[in-house]
Structure 1
Amino acid sequence: MTSFVPRQAFLNVWSALFALIIVSLGLTVPAHAQVTAFKQAVAEAASGDIEIAEFYRTRSYDPIWTGRAGRDAQLRRAFLSALENAGDHALPVRRYDPTEIRAALRAANTPRARGQLEVDLSRKFLQYARDIQTGILVPSRVDEGIVRVVPRVNRLTLLRTLASRSPNGVFRALTPKTPEYNRLMAEKLRFERLLGRGGWGPDVAARKLEPGDSGNLVVILRNRLIAMGYMRRSATQTYDAAIQQAVQQFQLAHGLTPDGVAGQATIQQLNVGVENRLQSVIVAMERERWLNRDRGDRHVLVNLTDFTAKIVDNGRVTFSTRSVVGKNQSDRRSPEFSDVMEHMVINPTWNVPRSIATEEYLPLLQRDPNAAGHMRITDVRGQLVDRASIDFTQFDTHNFPFDIKQPPSRRNALGLVKFMFPNPHNIYLHDTPAKNLFAREVRDFSHGCIRLNDPFDFAYALLARQVSNPEAFFQERLATGRETVVPLEVPIQVHLIYRTAFTQARGRTQFRRDIYGRDRRIWNALSQAGVALRAVRS
């Protein structure tokens, strides 16, 4: 079979070859031949990328980077200026090294070389735009518990925006605009200067220090607290009131019990170096890019590492309560995602998840059919089954045919209210009868859902937007003892996040323990992608 080459494609290829021959002979290339050679090079270089190819096709392969027109030069300057600051944003700068780009611009002295460079600059721009706007990594590839959907911007839209708007304005718009991101970046630069000065001094090599102690270990503790900014300069060698107060402030900033005693957990956190804290800040910046979206003027924010749930109104925390999160086990860790809360359920029934029913309750029933007598066992028709007539030993995790439910009561595992944002992970916020757990410092005990220390007050805060007396409204329905669904007239966004470093509008940056090891995995992935720590000497 004879292949057929379209006439225009043949002419384009011939024109490009003709231009190359002319150049090799040292002759002058006609202007139209140069244009044709450039466009042919753009078309070839872009052919493997659908969005870039479409962008250049719709503009007849005209340049936006390499032309001699004033706007092309302006765009090059704006891009190179942005790339000079890429390190400030903790980006992998080698992906788009401005020094290499300048060298490539100087070396591109033929139409074909300029065409290839034109496409390469567009690729580098798209990579940079994605990295700084919505993150370097794909969250779920780093950890399966990070099921967050990242709001990626369409690549073709980015290129068309770049070609039609003010270059400086486009680059400014790429950077996340949240106050949290700006404060984290400022903290990153501060820690880089601390790293350049050598850090905070020697570690505190003690198991425990407390008020009244004295000696060299207390001096090391004192000096480290001074270097960290928790106390003023002092010559004391005794664990006095000033050191005790500084330890309390440190404990508050690190999610520790503020007893003023430097116990094992406190000393462990005191000895975390500047490098590790800087890594936490950089990871937090990446996580902030993943959440670069409208979070709602009013939203619920659950920080898993901080063991808190908050209501945020127009950037200000208006309600906060302690929380219990999923246990640090493979099948219990609370996932990270965003969804929309639609309703609450007062006096809820607990529909026991199948994993819990088969792994925890089935073994009990196999030993004693009357075990867990407060639970209802129903068949596929929803009918209550007679436990005495069932041989539970014939079932396993695969063929167990029943549902297990716990009716509303104060003993119910969900407590007296749950807050629903329907999601495929079966995660929600709820009350609990196990109130003693909220006194713990580290609160990872649940099967994955988020337990609230003050669920009634949380409900009142949500209902205040739709009823005049939220407490009376809630208590009236609670008193019936019947399961009652209360829709939220205005659904509210819920964000389950995981931040081991986070800032405050006023006050110190907060650090928390990496309870699930997720931040360690993110940092390793960022490092492999080319993100590096910087030490700034000033």
Structure 2
Amino acid sequence: MALCFVVMGGAALAQVTVFKQTVAEAATDDADLAAYYRSSAYEPIWTEDSESHWQRRAELLRALSQAHLHGLPPSRYDAAGLERAMQDVRTSRDLGLIEVRLSKTFLRYARDVQTGVLIPSRVDGGIVREIPYRDRLSLIEGFVNASPRQYLNGLPPSSAQYRNLMKEKLRLESLLARGAWGPTVPADSLKPGQNGPAVIALRNRLVAMGLMPVSASPDYDVALQKAVRDFQLTHGLEADGVAGAVTLQEVNASVQSRLKSVIVAMERERWTNMDLGDRHIVVNQTDFSAKIVDHGRVTFETRSVIGKNTGDRRSPEFSDQMEHMIVNPSWYVPRSIVTKEYLPQLKNNPHAVGHIEITDSRGRRVDRSSMDFSQFSARSFPFSMRQPPSKSNALGLVKFMFPNKYNIYLHDTPSKNLFERETRAFSHGCIRLADPFDFAYTLLAAQTDDPQGVFQTALKSGRETKIDLVTPVPVHIIYRTAIMTEKGKPEYRRDVYGRDARIWQALENAGVALEGFQG
């Protein structure tokens, strides 16, 4: 890491000029970096022969050498190449070039470890969240004015989720190096009372996962049933203790696949490296859940239904602010549903979907009997459709609004039976809640001593009623197939929309590789 400094004797001024000219030229393709060096009169950050500059170089190289711990691609930073280039410095021009190369590498690493390697919307159109990128000029200035090690250590997310994901990554890598969880279970399904080689394989795999003590029993006994149930609970499956097809598919999932989920989750955590809010709402699509979190603790949780895994129905991922709820809501049918689903029915029968009102541009109700709907195309259909408030309303009796351009919100539903399903991807994109009233009570408890009374008064009126949240609540619609619990235990979910598979492929293309993989 030594640099050959060439400024000496009477040639000092000329060599300083060459250094500064080289820095100016090499930084021209990076506006932020060029602005910094102009403002500092091209003073070096890295390449002086001083203790502070040595520490900056050493700490940057240390951080780059540990990039793999964060699931980042070391090849993006080429720490070995940087060291060689520093050792090969012979002229003032060489010194200027390595100065800018170190700064560019620092900026790339800082952004990657802080807010992610990938641009999510380029990987999947359903990931529409805004990444909380930090100002690059501020990153440089902050580093120059801070302890190098402390500053670099402070760049990654500081959340317990991220720290625990890092620990889980190390645990899985260690498992890979030791041969993983052993042979898979050679069966389509197994149930209590059975015995034989497949049952033994199931037992051995759950033992390897730490879910039950070592045993030589060949029987699907009570102990094995409990272990299966525990596995199901931590993988979002129906916890019946029966190793059906879906359960065995998850039991047979490889350590490699789990490690990929963890690395993807770390990248996703970097995308949300921001203040989530002392009180906030988290909807994890893969978990089919909606939670209210207060100061890091889940204070309310309910099941949810997310968008169907087809076409434009998949629920998007983004963050916003919940501002109010509407009790006894009308359902203003989205244009896409009007033209794709209802218009074809109206062409065949003008009285189809009779529970929905058809209104013109002035809000006047259209007389279906006098209307020939066959004359309209999806583009020319001039009407709107609305379902008035009622118990059978598609939105149920309450909806929770965080106005956004995607027209996504949380709401009640009359289709309560869907919450009993293990996989709950059925909606047109909005998030349906199993316990919307209790959800509302929990939100309102922050602003009234009688949250149930306030809500029920509005409900019993039968009128569409808006209840503002005095303090807006951040809503984060996320998608995690690897989740660390509040106690630091790993849980895994299925990749409902295939998004994590696409993210992993993009990370792999960027140079991320599985550590500990033996081939």
Q: How does the TM-score come out when normalised to structure 1? A: 0.94
Which of the numbers 410, 427, 437 marks the counterpart of 2:408? Answer: 427
- In 2, the alpha carbon distance for the partners of 1:175 and 1:508 equals 21
The answer to whether structure 1 residue 137 and structure 2 residue 115 are counterparts is no
Contact 1:193 1:536 in 2 (8 A): no
Which of the numbers 134, 156, 162 marks the counterpart of 1:181? Answer: 162
**What is residue 20 of structure 1 aligned with on the other side?**
none
- In 1, the alpha carbon distance for the partners of 2:90 and 2:483 equals 49
Q: How does 1:239-258 map to 2 (within 5 A)?
A: 239-258=220-239
The answer to whether structure 1 residue 171 and structure 2 residue 145 are counterparts is no
Shift of 1:81: 1.5
Shift of 1:105: 1.1
Which of the numbers 402, 410, 427 marks the counterpart of 2:383? Answer: 402
- In 2, the alpha carbon distance for the partners of 1:237 and 1:100 equals 56
**What is residue 14 of structure 1 aligned with on the other side?**
none
Map Cα deviations across residues 94-114 of structure 1 (whole Å, 9 max, x no partner): 122322222111111211101
- In 1, the alpha carbon distance for the partners of 2:395 and 2:28 equals 56
Map Cα deviations across residues 510-538 of structure 1 (whole Å, 9 max, x no partner): 1000000000000000000011100089x
Letter of the aligned partner of 1:49 in structure 2?
Answer: D
**What is residue 10 of structure 1 aligned with on the other side?**
none
Which of the numbers 484, 487, 507 marks the counterpart of 1:503? Answer: 484
Letter of the aligned partner of 1:416 in structure 2?
Answer: L
Letter of the aligned partner of 1:55 in structure 2?
Answer: Y
Contact 1:87 1:93 in 2 (8 A): yes
Shift of 1:402: 0.3
- In 2, the alpha carbon distance for the partners of 1:50 and 1:472 equals 57
Which of the numbers 329, 334, 339 marks the counterpart of 1:353? Answer: 334
SS at match of 1:312: strand
Contact 1:299 1:312 in 2 (8 A): yes
- In 1, the alpha carbon distance for the partners of 2:58 and 2:358 equals 70
Contact 1:502 1:509 in 2 (8 A): yes
Contact 2:326 2:400 in 1 (8 A): yes
SS at match of 2:57: helix
Q: How does 1:378-527 map to 2 (within 5 A)?
A: 378-506=359-487, 508-527=489-508
- In 2, the alpha carbon distance for the partners of 1:46 and 1:470 equals 59
The answer to whether structure 1 residue 342 and structure 2 residue 336 are counterparts is no
SS at match of 2:282: strand
- In 2, the alpha carbon distance for the partners of 1:352 and 1:58 equals 55
Shift of 1:356: 0.4
SS at match of 1:396: coil
- In 2, the alpha carbon distance for the partners of 1:28 and 1:470 equals 80
The answer to whether structure 1 residue 78 and structure 2 residue 59 are counterparts is yes
SS at match of 2:217: coil
Paired residues in the alignment total 512
The answer to whether structure 1 residue 48 and structure 2 residue 29 are counterparts is yes
Shift of 1:507: 5.9
- In 2, the alpha carbon distance for the partners of 1:163 and 1:261 equals 59
Structure of greater Rg:
1
Which of the numbers 364, 373, 376 marks the counterpart of 2:357? Answer: 376
Contact 2:164 2:488 in 1 (8 A): no
SS at match of 1:331: helix
- In 2, the alpha carbon distance for the partners of 1:338 and 1:487 equals 19
- Structure 2 alignment gaps of length 5 or more: 1-5
Letter of the aligned partner of 2:477 in structure 1?
Answer: L
Shift of 1:28: 7.5
- In 2, the alpha carbon distance for the partners of 1:372 and 1:40 equals 73
Map Cα deviations across residues 120-178 of structure 1 (whole Å, 9 max, x no partner): 00000000001000000000000000001001111111111112222122112211100
Shift of 1:228: 0.9
Contact 2:389 2:464 in 1 (8 A): yes
- Structure 1 alignment gaps of length 5 or more: 1-22
Aligned CA distance change for structure 1 residues 373 and 319 (closer, same or farther; 3 Å): same
- In 2, the alpha carbon distance for the partners of 1:355 and 1:140 equals 22
The answer to whether structure 1 residue 154 and structure 2 residue 135 are counterparts is yes
- In 1, the alpha carbon distance for the partners of 2:361 and 2:330 equals 17
SS at match of 2:180: coil
Shift of 1:29: 6.8
The answer to whether structure 1 residue 96 and structure 2 residue 85 are counterparts is no
**What is residue 3 of structure 2 aligned with on the other side?**
none
Letter of the aligned partner of 2:361 in structure 1?
Answer: V
Cα RMSD of the aligned pairs, angstroms, is: 1.2
Contact 1:253 1:508 in 2 (8 A): no
Shift of 1:508: 2.9
- In 1, the alpha carbon distance for the partners of 2:10 and 2:283 equals 65
Contact 2:229 2:240 in 1 (8 A): yes
SS at match of 1:133: helix
Relative to structure 2, which stretch is displaced further, 99-108 or 149-158?
99-108
Letter of the aligned partner of 2:126 in structure 1?
Answer: G
SS at match of 2:417: helix
- In 2, the alpha carbon distance for the partners of 1:154 and 1:108 equals 31
SS at match of 1:174: coil
SS at match of 2:472: strand
Letter of the aligned partner of 2:19 in structure 1?
Answer: F
SS at match of 2:276: coil
**What is residue 332 of structure 1 aligned with on the other side?**
313
Moved segments of 4+, more than 6 Å: none
- In 2, the alpha carbon distance for the partners of 1:434 and 1:80 equals 57
Q: How does the TM-score come out when normalised to structure 2? A: 0.97
Contact 2:307 2:313 in 1 (8 A): yes
Letter of the aligned partner of 2:513 in structure 1?
Answer: A
The answer to whether structure 1 residue 291 and structure 2 residue 272 are counterparts is yes
**What is residue 208 of structure 2 aligned with on the other side?**
227
Letter of the aligned partner of 1:260 in structure 2?
Answer: G
SS at match of 1:495: strand
